[in-house]
Structure 1
Amino acid sequence: MRAFRDAFEDLVLGGRCAGCERPGVAVCAGCRTLLSTATPFHAWPDPVPAGLPRPAAAAQYGGAVRGLILAHKEHARYSLAGPLGEALAAAVRLSLEPGRAGWLCPVPSPRATVRQRGHDPLRRLTVAAARRLRRQGYDVRLADALAVVRRPADQSGLSAQERAANLAGAFEARSRWAERLTDQPVVLVDDVLTTGSTLAEAGRALSGRGIPVLGCAVVAATARRAAPGS
Protein backbone atom coordinates (compact mmCIF):
# COMPACT_ATOMS: atom_id res chain seq x y z
CA MET A 1 0.00 0.00 0.00
CA ARG A 2 2.83 2.41 0.78
CA ALA A 3 4.40 1.79 -2.63
CA PHE A 4 1.05 2.40 -4.33
CA ARG A 5 0.50 5.64 -2.40
CA ASP A 6 4.02 6.84 -3.12
CA ALA A 7 3.64 6.11 -6.81
CA PHE A 8 0.32 7.99 -6.84
CA GLU A 9 1.88 11.03 -5.21
CA ASP A 10 4.79 10.91 -7.63
CA LEU A 11 2.54 10.72 -10.69
CA VAL A 12 -0.29 13.02 -9.69
CA LEU A 13 1.15 15.47 -7.20
CA GLY A 14 4.63 15.87 -8.64
CA GLY A 15 6.05 16.11 -5.13
CA ARG A 16 9.59 16.13 -3.82
CA CYS A 17 11.25 14.39 -0.93
CA ALA A 18 11.34 16.80 2.01
CA GLY A 19 14.78 15.53 2.96
CA CYS A 20 16.78 15.52 -0.25
CA GLU A 21 14.34 17.25 -2.65
CA ARG A 22 14.42 14.31 -5.04
CA PRO A 23 11.29 14.39 -7.24
CA GLY A 24 8.65 11.95 -6.06
CA VAL A 25 7.21 11.14 -2.67
CA ALA A 26 7.25 13.13 0.58
CA VAL A 27 10.13 11.01 1.89
CA CYS A 28 12.17 8.89 -0.47
CA ALA A 29 13.45 5.41 0.33
CA GLY A 30 16.95 6.75 1.00
CA CYS A 31 15.85 9.36 3.54
CA ARG A 32 13.44 6.92 5.16
CA THR A 33 16.33 4.48 5.57
CA LEU A 34 18.53 7.28 6.95
CA LEU A 35 16.03 7.75 9.78
CA SER A 36 15.22 4.10 10.43
CA THR A 37 18.86 2.95 10.56
CA ALA A 38 20.28 5.83 12.61
CA THR A 39 21.89 4.76 15.89
CA PRO A 40 20.40 6.63 18.86
CA PHE A 41 22.90 8.30 21.18
CA HIS A 42 23.01 10.27 24.43
CA ALA A 43 23.14 13.87 23.26
CA TRP A 44 24.46 15.98 26.13
CA PRO A 45 24.73 19.64 25.07
CA ASP A 46 27.78 21.69 25.99
CA PRO A 47 27.30 23.44 28.37
CA VAL A 48 24.73 21.22 30.09
CA PRO A 49 21.85 23.25 31.57
CA ALA A 50 21.10 22.56 35.22
CA GLY A 51 18.50 19.88 35.74
CA LEU A 52 18.48 18.50 32.19
CA PRO A 53 17.21 14.89 32.27
CA ARG A 54 19.46 12.48 30.42
CA PRO A 55 18.93 13.33 26.73
CA ALA A 56 18.78 10.87 23.83
CA ALA A 57 18.58 11.64 20.11
CA ALA A 58 17.92 9.43 17.12
CA ALA A 59 20.02 11.43 14.64
CA GLN A 60 22.18 14.48 14.09
CA TYR A 61 20.28 17.64 13.16
CA GLY A 62 21.24 18.71 9.67
CA GLY A 63 20.93 17.86 6.01
CA ALA A 64 18.04 15.57 5.11
CA VAL A 65 16.97 15.08 8.73
CA ARG A 66 16.61 18.82 9.20
CA GLY A 67 14.59 19.07 6.00
CA LEU A 68 12.19 16.34 7.09
CA ILE A 69 11.63 17.86 10.53
CA LEU A 70 11.01 21.36 9.17
CA ALA A 71 8.71 20.12 6.40
CA HIS A 72 6.56 18.31 8.94
CA LYS A 73 6.57 21.13 11.48
CA GLU A 74 6.33 24.26 9.37
CA HIS A 75 4.68 22.99 6.18
CA ALA A 76 2.26 20.41 7.62
CA ARG A 77 3.63 17.45 5.67
CA TYR A 78 1.60 15.04 7.76
CA SER A 79 2.88 11.93 5.98
CA LEU A 80 6.30 12.52 7.58
CA ALA A 81 4.92 11.83 11.07
CA GLY A 82 5.36 8.08 10.60
CA PRO A 83 9.10 7.96 9.83
CA LEU A 84 9.89 10.81 12.23
CA GLY A 85 7.84 9.16 14.97
CA GLU A 86 9.71 5.91 14.38
CA ALA A 87 12.99 7.77 14.89
CA LEU A 88 11.65 9.39 18.07
CA ALA A 89 10.65 5.96 19.37
CA ALA A 90 14.23 4.76 18.89
CA ALA A 91 15.47 7.63 21.08
CA VAL A 92 12.83 6.92 23.74
CA ARG A 93 14.06 3.34 24.03
CA LEU A 94 17.34 4.63 25.49
CA SER A 95 15.37 5.90 28.50
CA LEU A 96 13.00 2.94 28.96
CA GLU A 97 14.00 -0.55 29.99
CA PRO A 98 12.57 -3.28 27.70
CA GLY A 99 8.98 -3.96 28.66
CA ARG A 100 8.86 -1.11 31.18
CA ALA A 101 5.76 1.04 31.31
CA GLY A 102 6.05 4.79 30.94
CA TRP A 103 4.46 8.02 29.79
CA LEU A 104 5.59 10.20 26.90
CA CYS A 105 5.16 13.90 27.60
CA PRO A 106 5.63 16.29 24.67
CA VAL A 107 6.98 19.77 25.36
CA PRO A 108 4.04 22.05 24.47
CA SER A 109 4.11 25.01 22.11
CA PRO A 110 2.19 28.22 22.82
CA ARG A 111 -1.39 28.05 21.56
CA ALA A 112 -0.76 30.93 19.18
CA THR A 113 2.07 28.98 17.55
CA VAL A 114 -0.14 25.90 17.15
CA ARG A 115 -2.87 28.04 15.58
CA GLN A 116 -0.39 29.68 13.21
CA ARG A 117 0.94 26.32 12.03
CA GLY A 118 -2.53 24.83 11.84
CA HIS A 119 -1.47 21.69 13.70
CA ASP A 120 0.52 20.41 16.67
CA PRO A 121 3.51 18.67 15.04
CA LEU A 122 5.20 17.38 18.19
CA ARG A 123 2.04 15.83 19.56
CA ARG A 124 1.54 14.03 16.26
CA LEU A 125 5.10 12.68 16.40
CA THR A 126 4.59 11.58 20.01
CA VAL A 127 1.43 9.67 19.09
CA ALA A 128 3.31 7.97 16.23
CA ALA A 129 6.23 7.11 18.53
CA ALA A 130 3.93 5.66 21.20
CA ARG A 131 2.17 3.52 18.61
CA ARG A 132 5.51 2.20 17.38
CA LEU A 133 6.73 1.44 20.91
CA ARG A 134 3.55 -0.43 21.82
CA ARG A 135 4.04 -2.66 18.79
CA GLN A 136 7.51 -3.40 20.16
CA GLY A 137 6.18 -4.46 23.55
CA TYR A 138 6.51 -1.22 25.55
CA ASP A 139 3.54 -0.14 27.64
CA VAL A 140 3.63 3.59 26.86
CA ARG A 141 0.96 6.24 26.75
CA LEU A 142 0.73 9.92 25.87
CA ALA A 143 0.59 12.43 28.71
CA ASP A 144 -0.33 16.04 27.83
CA ALA A 145 0.95 16.95 31.27
CA LEU A 146 2.56 20.33 30.56
CA ALA A 147 1.10 23.73 29.77
CA VAL A 148 2.75 26.94 28.58
CA VAL A 149 2.01 29.59 31.20
CA ARG A 150 4.38 32.27 29.96
CA ARG A 151 5.28 32.65 26.32
CA PRO A 152 9.07 33.06 25.99
CA ALA A 153 10.63 35.53 23.59
CA ASP A 154 12.06 34.30 20.29
CA GLN A 155 15.04 32.07 21.07
CA SER A 156 16.92 32.77 17.84
CA GLY A 157 20.40 34.13 18.43
CA LEU A 158 20.31 33.64 22.22
CA SER A 159 23.18 32.02 24.06
CA ALA A 160 22.62 28.95 26.24
CA GLN A 161 22.50 31.13 29.37
CA GLU A 162 20.10 33.59 27.74
CA ARG A 163 17.83 30.76 26.60
CA ALA A 164 17.69 29.37 30.12
CA ALA A 165 16.71 32.77 31.52
CA ASN A 166 14.18 33.30 28.73
CA LEU A 167 12.47 29.97 29.50
CA ALA A 168 12.42 30.23 33.30
CA GLY A 169 8.86 29.65 34.52
CA ALA A 170 7.49 29.05 31.02
CA PHE A 171 5.89 25.68 31.84
CA GLU A 172 3.83 24.15 34.59
CA ALA A 173 2.36 20.71 35.19
CA ARG A 174 -1.38 20.52 34.48
CA SER A 175 -3.29 19.96 37.72
CA ARG A 176 -5.37 17.10 36.33
CA TRP A 177 -2.18 15.25 35.38
CA ALA A 178 -0.05 16.00 38.42
CA GLU A 179 -1.77 13.51 40.74
CA ARG A 180 -2.10 10.87 38.02
CA LEU A 181 1.63 10.95 37.20
CA THR A 182 3.00 11.19 40.73
CA ASP A 183 5.67 8.50 41.02
CA GLN A 184 4.99 7.43 37.42
CA PRO A 185 7.95 7.25 34.98
CA VAL A 186 7.88 9.97 32.33
CA VAL A 187 10.04 10.61 29.27
CA LEU A 188 9.99 14.17 27.93
CA VAL A 189 9.97 14.39 24.15
CA ASP A 190 10.74 17.14 21.65
CA ASP A 191 11.70 17.28 17.99
CA VAL A 192 15.12 18.96 18.24
CA LEU A 193 17.63 19.51 21.05
CA THR A 194 19.91 22.55 20.72
CA THR A 195 21.07 23.88 24.10
CA GLY A 196 18.74 21.69 26.18
CA SER A 197 17.23 24.69 27.98
CA THR A 198 13.66 23.94 26.92
CA LEU A 199 13.81 20.32 28.07
CA ALA A 200 15.53 21.30 31.33
CA GLU A 201 12.79 23.81 32.16
CA ALA A 202 10.05 21.33 31.21
CA GLY A 203 11.70 18.73 33.43
CA ARG A 204 11.77 21.13 36.37
CA ALA A 205 8.05 21.82 35.96
CA LEU A 206 7.30 18.10 36.23
CA SER A 207 9.77 17.14 38.94
CA GLY A 208 8.57 20.05 41.05
CA ARG A 209 5.17 18.33 41.22
CA GLY A 210 6.63 14.97 42.22
CA ILE A 211 6.67 13.52 38.70
CA PRO A 212 9.90 11.59 38.04
CA VAL A 213 11.48 12.23 34.64
CA LEU A 214 13.51 9.26 33.41
CA GLY A 215 15.06 11.20 30.56
CA CYS A 216 14.24 13.12 27.43
CA ALA A 217 14.18 12.03 23.80
CA VAL A 218 14.33 13.96 20.54
CA VAL A 219 14.36 13.13 16.86
CA ALA A 220 17.62 15.04 16.33
CA ALA A 221 20.25 16.99 18.22
CA THR A 222 22.55 19.73 17.02
CA ALA A 223 26.32 19.32 17.13
CA ARG A 224 26.69 21.48 20.26
CA ARG A 225 27.40 18.53 22.55
CA ALA A 226 29.84 17.50 25.23
CA ALA A 227 32.23 14.67 24.54
CA PRO A 228 30.68 11.15 24.48
CA GLY A 229 30.39 9.64 27.94
CA SER A 230 30.55 12.99 29.72
Structure 2
Amino acid sequence: MQGVWRELAALVLPVDCAGCGRPRTELCAECRRVLARDGRGARRVRPWPSPVGLPRVWAGAPYADEVRAVLLAHKERGALRLAGPLGGVLAGAVRGLRAGDGPQLLVPVPSARRSVAGRGHDPVRRIALAAAGELRRAGTEVRVLAALRQRRVVADQAGLSARQRLANVAGALEVPGGAGRLLAGRSAVLVDDLVTTGATLAEAARAVAASGGRVGGAAVVAAPRGAFAVEGEPMEPISRGSR
Protein backbone atom coordinates (compact mmCIF):
# COMPACT_ATOMS: atom_id res chain seq x y z
CA MET A 1 0.00 0.00 0.00
CA GLN A 2 2.87 2.40 0.68
CA GLY A 3 3.85 2.28 -2.99
CA VAL A 4 0.28 3.03 -4.10
CA TRP A 5 0.04 6.06 -1.82
CA ARG A 6 3.40 7.36 -3.06
CA GLU A 7 2.29 7.12 -6.68
CA LEU A 8 -1.00 8.90 -5.90
CA ALA A 9 0.83 11.62 -3.97
CA ALA A 10 3.18 12.21 -6.90
CA LEU A 11 0.17 13.00 -9.09
CA VAL A 12 -1.19 15.78 -6.86
CA LEU A 13 1.76 17.19 -4.88
CA PRO A 14 4.50 19.46 -6.27
CA VAL A 15 7.77 17.59 -6.78
CA ASP A 16 11.28 18.50 -7.85
CA CYS A 17 13.34 16.77 -10.51
CA ALA A 18 15.12 13.83 -8.93
CA GLY A 19 18.21 14.48 -11.04
CA CYS A 20 18.81 18.23 -10.79
CA GLY A 21 16.17 19.62 -8.43
CA ARG A 22 14.28 21.63 -11.05
CA PRO A 23 10.83 22.32 -9.56
CA ARG A 24 7.47 20.83 -10.52
CA THR A 25 8.70 17.81 -12.46
CA GLU A 26 9.70 14.35 -11.23
CA LEU A 27 12.38 14.08 -13.93
CA CYS A 28 13.08 16.97 -16.27
CA ALA A 29 13.69 16.60 -19.99
CA GLU A 30 17.42 17.32 -19.65
CA CYS A 31 17.93 14.65 -16.98
CA ARG A 32 15.94 12.19 -19.10
CA ARG A 33 18.33 12.90 -21.95
CA VAL A 34 21.32 12.34 -19.65
CA LEU A 35 20.00 8.95 -18.53
CA ALA A 36 19.16 7.94 -22.10
CA ARG A 37 22.65 8.97 -23.25
CA ASP A 38 24.32 7.05 -20.42
CA GLY A 39 22.23 3.98 -21.21
CA ARG A 40 23.76 3.95 -24.69
CA GLY A 41 27.30 4.00 -23.25
CA ALA A 42 27.24 0.76 -21.26
CA ARG A 43 30.69 -0.61 -20.45
CA ARG A 44 32.22 -3.61 -18.76
CA VAL A 45 33.25 -2.93 -15.15
CA ARG A 46 35.35 -4.83 -12.67
CA PRO A 47 35.80 -4.34 -8.93
CA TRP A 48 39.30 -4.91 -7.61
CA PRO A 49 40.03 -7.17 -5.93
CA SER A 50 37.32 -9.19 -7.65
CA PRO A 51 35.64 -11.78 -5.42
CA VAL A 52 35.81 -15.42 -6.44
CA GLY A 53 32.85 -16.35 -8.62
CA LEU A 54 32.06 -12.84 -9.83
CA PRO A 55 30.69 -13.09 -13.40
CA ARG A 56 31.31 -10.54 -16.14
CA VAL A 57 29.59 -7.31 -15.14
CA TRP A 58 28.34 -4.53 -17.42
CA ALA A 59 27.10 -1.20 -16.08
CA GLY A 60 24.86 1.24 -17.89
CA ALA A 61 26.30 4.41 -16.35
CA PRO A 62 28.76 5.81 -13.81
CA TYR A 63 27.33 6.14 -10.32
CA ALA A 64 27.50 9.94 -10.17
CA ASP A 65 25.56 13.14 -10.70
CA GLU A 66 22.05 12.70 -12.15
CA VAL A 67 22.23 8.90 -12.26
CA ARG A 68 23.15 8.66 -8.59
CA ALA A 69 20.44 11.15 -7.59
CA VAL A 70 17.73 9.37 -9.60
CA LEU A 71 18.72 5.94 -8.24
CA LEU A 72 18.52 7.21 -4.67
CA ALA A 73 15.18 8.93 -5.29
CA HIS A 74 13.70 5.72 -6.67
CA LYS A 75 15.22 3.45 -4.03
CA GLU A 76 15.00 5.48 -0.85
CA ARG A 77 12.28 8.08 -1.49
CA GLY A 78 9.79 5.90 -3.34
CA ALA A 79 9.75 7.83 -6.63
CA LEU A 80 8.37 4.74 -8.36
CA ARG A 81 7.90 6.22 -11.83
CA LEU A 82 11.66 6.67 -12.09
CA ALA A 83 11.91 2.90 -12.63
CA GLY A 84 11.17 3.51 -16.32
CA PRO A 85 14.19 5.72 -17.12
CA LEU A 86 16.43 3.60 -14.88
CA GLY A 87 15.17 0.49 -16.66
CA GLY A 88 16.32 2.04 -19.92
CA VAL A 89 19.85 2.41 -18.51
CA LEU A 90 19.81 -1.19 -17.25
CA ALA A 91 18.61 -2.40 -20.65
CA GLY A 92 21.70 -0.80 -22.17
CA ALA A 93 23.89 -2.84 -19.81
CA VAL A 94 22.03 -6.05 -20.73
CA ARG A 95 22.58 -5.32 -24.42
CA GLY A 96 26.27 -4.66 -23.81
CA LEU A 97 26.68 -7.96 -22.01
CA ARG A 98 25.31 -9.99 -24.93
CA ALA A 99 25.01 -13.11 -22.77
CA GLY A 100 24.12 -15.42 -25.67
CA ASP A 101 21.54 -16.06 -28.33
CA GLY A 102 17.94 -16.85 -27.59
CA PRO A 103 15.57 -15.53 -24.91
CA GLN A 104 17.09 -13.53 -22.07
CA LEU A 105 16.32 -14.46 -18.47
CA LEU A 106 16.87 -11.60 -16.02
CA VAL A 107 17.25 -12.58 -12.36
CA PRO A 108 17.14 -9.59 -9.98
CA VAL A 109 19.22 -9.55 -6.82
CA PRO A 110 16.68 -9.41 -3.97
CA SER A 111 16.51 -6.70 -1.35
CA ALA A 112 16.24 -7.66 2.31
CA ARG A 113 12.65 -8.29 3.38
CA ARG A 114 12.84 -5.58 6.02
CA SER A 115 14.05 -3.11 3.36
CA VAL A 116 11.19 -4.01 1.02
CA ALA A 117 8.72 -3.60 3.88
CA GLY A 118 10.20 -0.24 4.86
CA ARG A 119 10.33 1.15 1.31
CA GLY A 120 7.03 -0.34 0.18
CA HIS A 121 8.61 -1.80 -2.96
CA ASP A 122 11.54 -3.86 -4.25
CA PRO A 123 13.56 -1.33 -6.31
CA VAL A 124 15.76 -3.78 -8.21
CA ARG A 125 12.84 -5.97 -9.28
CA ARG A 126 10.90 -2.91 -10.41
CA ILE A 127 13.84 -1.64 -12.49
CA ALA A 128 14.36 -5.14 -13.95
CA LEU A 129 10.74 -5.25 -15.09
CA ALA A 130 11.12 -1.83 -16.72
CA ALA A 131 14.32 -2.98 -18.46
CA ALA A 132 12.56 -6.09 -19.75
CA GLY A 133 9.81 -3.92 -21.20
CA GLU A 134 12.40 -1.74 -22.94
CA LEU A 135 14.18 -4.77 -24.37
CA ARG A 136 10.93 -6.34 -25.59
CA ARG A 137 9.96 -3.13 -27.39
CA ALA A 138 13.29 -3.39 -29.22
CA GLY A 139 12.56 -6.97 -30.28
CA THR A 140 14.46 -8.96 -27.61
CA GLU A 141 12.65 -11.91 -26.05
CA VAL A 142 13.17 -11.49 -22.32
CA ARG A 143 11.64 -12.55 -19.03
CA VAL A 144 12.21 -11.49 -15.42
CA LEU A 145 12.41 -14.38 -12.96
CA ALA A 146 12.58 -13.40 -9.27
CA ALA A 147 14.29 -16.67 -8.42
CA LEU A 148 16.58 -15.52 -5.61
CA ARG A 149 15.62 -14.92 -2.02
CA GLN A 150 17.47 -14.19 1.19
CA ARG A 151 17.77 -17.22 3.44
CA ARG A 152 19.10 -15.27 6.41
CA VAL A 153 19.44 -11.71 7.63
CA VAL A 154 22.56 -9.83 6.57
CA ALA A 155 24.05 -6.71 8.14
CA ASP A 156 24.04 -3.34 6.41
CA GLN A 157 27.02 -3.41 4.04
CA ALA A 158 27.83 0.30 4.35
CA GLY A 159 31.15 0.82 6.09
CA LEU A 160 32.30 -2.80 5.73
CA SER A 161 35.56 -3.70 4.02
CA ALA A 162 35.55 -5.89 0.91
CA ARG A 163 36.50 -8.93 3.01
CA GLN A 164 33.80 -8.17 5.58
CA ARG A 165 31.18 -7.82 2.85
CA LEU A 166 32.10 -11.21 1.43
CA ALA A 167 31.70 -12.79 4.86
CA ASN A 168 28.46 -10.89 5.45
CA VAL A 169 26.71 -12.23 2.33
CA ALA A 170 28.32 -15.69 2.15
CA GLY A 171 25.52 -18.25 1.90
CA ALA A 172 22.86 -15.56 2.33
CA LEU A 173 20.99 -16.22 -0.93
CA GLU A 174 19.18 -19.27 -2.23
CA VAL A 175 16.91 -20.38 -5.05
CA PRO A 176 13.77 -22.16 -3.76
CA GLY A 177 12.80 -25.48 -5.33
CA GLY A 178 10.14 -24.23 -7.73
CA ALA A 179 12.29 -21.42 -9.07
CA GLY A 180 15.22 -23.81 -9.29
CA ARG A 181 13.30 -26.00 -11.69
CA LEU A 182 12.70 -22.97 -13.92
CA LEU A 183 16.40 -22.11 -13.83
CA ALA A 184 17.81 -25.60 -14.33
CA GLY A 185 19.99 -25.73 -17.43
CA ARG A 186 19.20 -22.16 -18.45
CA SER A 187 21.50 -19.17 -18.74
CA ALA A 188 20.56 -16.22 -16.53
CA VAL A 189 21.68 -12.61 -16.37
CA LEU A 190 21.89 -11.28 -12.82
CA VAL A 191 20.65 -7.70 -12.48
CA ASP A 192 21.16 -5.14 -9.73
CA ASP A 193 21.04 -1.40 -9.31
CA LEU A 194 24.67 -0.92 -8.26
CA VAL A 195 27.95 -2.82 -8.03
CA THR A 196 30.91 -1.80 -5.88
CA THR A 197 32.88 -4.70 -4.37
CA GLY A 198 30.92 -7.36 -6.29
CA ALA A 199 30.29 -9.44 -3.14
CA THR A 200 26.51 -9.61 -3.59
CA LEU A 201 26.70 -10.50 -7.28
CA ALA A 202 29.24 -13.24 -6.55
CA GLU A 203 26.92 -14.70 -3.90
CA ALA A 204 23.96 -14.48 -6.28
CA ALA A 205 25.97 -16.32 -8.96
CA ARG A 206 26.84 -19.05 -6.45
CA ALA A 207 23.19 -19.52 -5.49
CA VAL A 208 22.04 -19.72 -9.13
CA ALA A 209 24.77 -22.25 -9.97
CA ALA A 210 23.87 -24.33 -6.91
CA SER A 211 20.30 -24.59 -8.23
CA GLY A 212 21.46 -25.93 -11.60
CA GLY A 213 21.30 -22.65 -13.51
CA ARG A 214 24.09 -20.99 -15.47
CA VAL A 215 25.10 -17.36 -15.08
CA GLY A 216 25.86 -15.67 -18.38
CA GLY A 217 26.91 -12.45 -16.69
CA ALA A 218 25.54 -9.55 -14.67
CA ALA A 219 24.11 -6.17 -15.63
CA VAL A 220 23.73 -3.20 -13.30
CA VAL A 221 22.39 0.31 -13.65
CA ALA A 222 25.56 1.94 -12.35
CA ALA A 223 29.06 1.49 -10.97
CA PRO A 224 31.57 3.97 -9.51
CA ARG A 225 33.55 5.88 -12.12
CA GLY A 226 36.75 4.07 -11.17
CA ALA A 227 35.31 0.80 -12.45
CA PHE A 228 34.89 2.14 -16.00
CA ALA A 229 37.63 1.82 -18.58
CA VAL A 230 38.08 1.48 -22.31
CA GLU A 231 37.56 -2.17 -23.26
CA GLY A 232 40.89 -3.99 -23.16
CA GLU A 233 42.62 -1.47 -20.85
CA PRO A 234 43.23 -1.96 -17.11
CA MET A 235 40.44 -0.79 -14.83
CA GLU A 236 41.01 1.23 -11.70
CA PRO A 237 40.17 -0.54 -8.43
CA ILE A 238 36.97 0.29 -6.58
CA SER A 239 36.63 -0.59 -2.95
CA ARG A 240 33.74 1.19 -1.27
CA GLY A 241 29.94 0.91 -1.39
CA SER A 242 27.15 -1.43 -0.38
CA ARG A 243 27.08 -4.06 -3.12
TM-score normalised by L of structure 1: 0.91
Question: In the superposition, relative to structure 1, how do residues 31 and 177 fare at CA in structure 2: closer, same or farther (>3 Å)?
Answer: same
Matches within 5 A, 1:181-200: 181-200=183-202
For the residues of structure 2 that align with 1:49 and 1:127, how far apart are their CA atoms?
27
SS in structure 2 of the partner of residue 190 of structure 1: strand
Instruction: Specify the alignment match of 2:164 in structure 1.
Output: 162
Q: CA deviation at 1:223?
A: 3.1
Matches within 5 A, 1:73-112: 73-96=75-98, 100-112=102-114
Instruction: Specify the alignment match of 1:21 in structure 2.
Output: 21
- Say if 2:74 and 2:123, in contact at 8 Å, map to a contact too: yes
Deviates more, 1:50-59 or 1:175-184: 175-184
Q: What residue ranges of structure 1 are gaps of 5+ in the alignment?
A: 1-8
For the residues of structure 2 that align with 1:184 and 1:31, how far apart are their CA atoms?
37
Instruction: Specify the alignment match of 2:3 in structure 1.
Output: none
Is structure 2 residue 125 aligned with structure 1 residue 123? yes
SS in structure 2 of the partner of residue 144 of structure 1: coil
- Say if 1:41 and 1:57, in contact at 8 Å, map to a contact too: yes
What is the CA deviation profile of residues 180-219 of structure 1, one whole-angstrom value per residue up to 9, with x for unaligned ones? 2111121000001111110111011001222111110111
Percentage of pairs with the same residue:
48
For the residues of structure 2 that align with 1:128 and 1:16, how far apart are their CA atoms?
22
Amino acid at match of 1:190: D
Number of aligned residues: 221
Question: In the superposition, relative to structure 1, how do residues 109 and 178 fare at CA in structure 2: closer, same or farther (>3 Å)?
Answer: same
Q: CA deviation at 1:42?
A: 0.4
SS in structure 2 of the partner of residue 58 of structure 1: strand
Amino acid at match of 1:163: R
Instruction: Specify the alignment match of 1:65 in structure 2.
Output: 67
Calculate the aligned-residue CA RMSD, in Å. 1.8
SS in structure 1 of the partner of residue 225 of structure 2: coil
Question: In the superposition, relative to structure 1, how do residues 25 and 168 fare at CA in structure 2: closer, same or farther (>3 Å)?
Answer: same
What is the CA deviation profile of residues 65-120 of structure 1, one whole-angstrom value per residue up to 9, with x for unaligned ones? 11100100111101101100111111111223686312100001121110011111
Q: What residue ranges of structure 2 are gaps of 5+ in the alignment?
A: 1-9, 235-243
